[in-house]
Amino acid sequence: MKFIVTAVLSVLGVSSIFAQGNGATEREWKDKLQDNYDLYVRNVKFQKAHQPWIDVHFGLNNWLNEDFSLADGAEEAELLRSWAWKFGMGGKYRVENTPVVLQYGLQFSVHRLGLADDNALEKYSDEIRIEPVDLDMIRSRFVVSYMNVPLMVHLDFSDYGIDNGFTVGVGAEVGMRINSYQRLTYNDGFGDETTLTQKGEFYFQRWRYGLALQIGYGKYKLSAGYDLNPVFHSGPNAQMAYVLLGIVL
């Protein structure tokens, strides 16, 4: 399409110049062609556009105290064993003649925290606690999954369409917990590695809500998020946070 429009503009430019007489120089012809092309770019750069999106993100996940420091003590989550990934789809809409792009859709996310030492989730009648357990622990981690609705506003400076140039966006996410479990891997005392999976609610919040930030160029994105409510409704008072690398398909 771009080639066809450029060709038409070229013909119009040449015709206009030659209509003025044979005295037109090559420089004047090139200037006229450039003016016509610039006018075309200005008219379509912030075009009204709507397109679907599908993205996949993967990266580091952890949780933070109220002062934004990493949780420590028994609640410490080991950095390289704590990760998250997201898969989502939806639509993006460019507000006419502006760089503003609205994003909406549905995402599925999995958040894992790898606990340090022999610590694990211990459920009591009124709360969840993280404390050492009497096992020869090899690995301890818990996983919680959500179905999320992202609502974001982007400044998209693509020359054509959406997600073809530099973008930066802010917004919010609201999610509902759909699965949660704890998995303990320990030495059974006979030289064998045993894995125990415990499924349950574990006092995880049913709903989550938080802030989202994204920056990228073209299809490649760096996303960050921070939950405004704690991971547990009765337990450690820490919020989930993540930084993910991703691609928009």
Q: pLDDT tens digits, residue range 114-170?
A: 999 999 999 999 999 999 999 999 999 999 999 999 999 999 998 778 999 999 999
Per residue in 1-57, pLDDT (tens digit) is: 444 444 444 444 544 544 444 555 777 777 777 777 666 655 555 565 788 999 999
Residue in this structure with the two tokens 């060709």, named with its chain if needed: 7
Residue 6 is predicted with a pLDDT of 46
Of 114, 118, 92, nearest to 105 by C-alpha is 92
pLDDT confidence tier of residue 180, bands split at 50, 70 and 90: very high
The pLDDT of residue 14 is 45
Side chain identity at residue 205, one-letter code = Q
State the pLDDT at residue 160.
79
Going along the chain from its start, the domains and CATH numbers come out as 2-44 (no CATH), 47-248 (2.40.160)
200 three-state secondary structure: coil
Q: Determine the pLDDT at residue 41.
A: 58
pLDDT tens-digit profile of 210-245? 999 999 999 999 999 999 999 999 999 999 999 999
Angle at 217 between CA 211 and CA 223, to 5 degrees: 25
pLDDT of residue 35: 73
